[in-house]
């Protein structure tokens, strides 16, 4: 059977003209048993469309691991490094992960208590809630009436020592049904987005770059981000913005001297734009919560200086300045019309290009709403590639 593609089911909130390339439903293949030829085709499609949906799949943890690993055969360990996450008690990621004992690269995530699951006698899961991460929260009354927020826009990546995974696979096993919710931005814009209960929200990093005005495109193509050492521990006392797109600058981050042992050599400095290996497009891929400094190169020779920002380059170390500039560049791309909120069905498998999209957990469940997903991503065998000299010449 040949591979067939269908458009993703876009909600009425989405601007369809911005989703012509983004996201496809794939039919006619079994993602757990792909032939080498099908796998090759799926890889090309993933990089071309950034998110692929397979419905009604049967997928064991072993098959999910094999599929994820096929995108980067030299990768081996879970994207955040299991033991590291487990031993780093302070990390904000710690409570969200339960490992499948047989296949430790696959994580069980969700909500409520799950029994006798793939070798886990009992797993208590908690859907991450903005109420424990954002500086402000939706009031309990509004939450009961269905209002919610994006939890945290991110890339799946340790951002320290390990390279960001190329692909993440998310497989929905138990999906509680419930009324839709309204995701509020609460940033003074009045923006809000109707979402299915417990959606995963995606935005395209490619669109994030493409909609920038020329002067910010020029900054983006010249900029690199330095992430904090052990960023999830570093940020643990800090609180997020109401949009989930970064952290409030209140000086709450842990001092570097209080972090677990770290070395300069393992600190990650990544380009702001990551080059798609298939389409060669540039994707704006910054994990805003972990960013600590921005390094902006001077304009290349021959570039127009008039109206340019940072024409002689800059090294921005003031956290608020770093965050404000990133926010200015990233916020436009999470506008309601540019978000794809996936409406999960049981046995949905979503494969996403982790180096080409940003995503966020959304919504709130009650403890009796049981949700069980398998998630897998693997620390990559190499770091992402930034803009080429031609890209810099073109966009700076």
Q: What are the residues binding Fe ion (CB under 5 A)?
A: 156
Task: Tell me the residue number closest to Fe ion, measured at CB.
Answer: 156
CB of 155 to Fe ion, least distance (A): 8
Q: Of 67 and 223, which CB lies nearer to Fe ion in the complex structure?
A: 67
CB of 300 to Fe ion, least distance (A): 35
CB of 371 to Fe ion, least distance (A): 15
CB of 156 to Fe ion, least distance (A): 4
CB of 227 to Fe ion, least distance (A): 16
* Interatomic CA distance for residues 239 and 250, integer angstroms: 8
With contact defined as beta carbons under 8 Å apart, do 298 and 126 qualify?
no
Q: Of 50 and 156, which CB lies nearer to Fe ion in the complex structure?
A: 156
Q: Of 25 and 156, which CB lies nearer to Fe ion in the complex structure?
A: 156
For residue 267, what are the contacts with CB-CB under 8 A and spacing of at least 6?
A: 160, 226, 227, 228, 229
66, 163, 169 from 79: Cα distances, Å? 15, 8, 12
12, 221, 223, 329 from 300: Cα distances, Å? 43, 11, 13, 21
Q: Provide long-range contacts, Cβ within 8 A and 24+ apart, for 320-326.
A: 320/249, 322/291, 322/292, 322/293, 322/294, 323/246, 323/247, 323/249, 323/288, 323/291, 325/219, 325/294, 326/225, 326/246, 326/286, 326/288, 326/291, 326/294
CA-based torsion, 102, 88, 77, 3: positive or negative: positive
Residue 259 CB-half CA count within 13 A: 20
| Nearest CA-CA partner of 354 in 59, 120, 68 | 68
* Interatomic CA distance for residues 287 and 339, integer angstroms: 17
CB of 225 to Fe ion, least distance (A): 18
With contact defined as beta carbons under 8 Å apart, do 188 and 332 qualify?
no
CB of 290 to Fe ion, least distance (A): 13
Q: Of 229 and 244, which CB lies nearer to Fe ion in the complex structure?
A: 244
Q: Of 156 and 186, which CB lies nearer to Fe ion in the complex structure?
A: 156
Q: Could you tell me which residues are beta bridge partners of residue 380?
A: 163
CB of 342 to Fe ion, least distance (A): 13
Q: Of 4 and 86, which CB lies nearer to Fe ion in the complex structure?
A: 86
């Amino acid at each position: 059977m040949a591979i067939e593609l269908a458009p993703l089911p876009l909600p009425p909130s989405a601007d369809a003209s911005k989703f012509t390339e983004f996201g496809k439903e794939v039919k006619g293949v079994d993602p757990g048993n792909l032939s080498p030829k099908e796998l090759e085709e799926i890889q090309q499609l993933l990089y071309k469309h950034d998110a692929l949906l397979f419905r009604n799949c049967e997928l064991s943890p072993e098959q999910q691991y094999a599929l994820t690993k096929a995108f980067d055969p030299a990768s081996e360990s879970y994207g955040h490094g299991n033991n590291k996450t487990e031993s780093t008690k302070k990390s904000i990621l710690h409570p969200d992960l339960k490992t499948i004992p047989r296949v430790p690269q696959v994580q069980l995530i969700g909500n409520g208590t799950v029994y006798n699951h793939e070798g886990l006698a009992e797993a208590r899961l908690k859907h991450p809630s903005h109420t424990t991460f954002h500086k402000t929260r939706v009031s309990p009354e509004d939450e009961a009436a269905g209002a919610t927020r994006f939890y945290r826009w991110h890339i799946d990546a340790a951002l320290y020592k390990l390279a960001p995974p190329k692909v993440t696979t998310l497989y929905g096993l138990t999906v509680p049904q419930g009324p839709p919710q309204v995701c509020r931005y609460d940033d003074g814009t009045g923006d809000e987005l109707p979402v299915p209960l417990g959606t995963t929200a995606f935005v395209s990093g490619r669109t994030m770059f493409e909609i920038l005005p020329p002067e910010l495109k020029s900054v983006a193509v010249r900029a690199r981000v330095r992430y904090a050492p052990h960023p999830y521990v570093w940020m643990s006392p800090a609180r997020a913005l109401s949009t989930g797109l970064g952290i409030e600058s209140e000086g709450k981050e842990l001092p570097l001297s209080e972090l677990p042992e770290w070395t300069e050599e393992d600190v990650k400095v990544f380009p702001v734009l990551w080059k798609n290996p298939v389409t060669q497009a540039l994707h704006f891929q910054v994990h805003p919560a972990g960013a600590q400094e921005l390094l902006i190169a001077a304009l290349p020779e021959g570039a127009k200086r008039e109206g340019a920002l940072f024409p002689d380059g800059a090294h921005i170390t003031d956290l608020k300045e770093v965050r404000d500039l990133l926010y200015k560049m990233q916020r436009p791309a999470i506008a309601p019309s540019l978000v794809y909120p996936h409406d999960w069905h049981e046995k949905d498998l979503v494969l996403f290009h982790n180096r080409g999209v940003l995503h966020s957990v959304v919504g709130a469940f009650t403890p009796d709403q049981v949700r069980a997903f398998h998630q897998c991503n693997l620390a990559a065998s190499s770091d992402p590639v930034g803009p080429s000299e031609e890209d810099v010449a073109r966009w700076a």
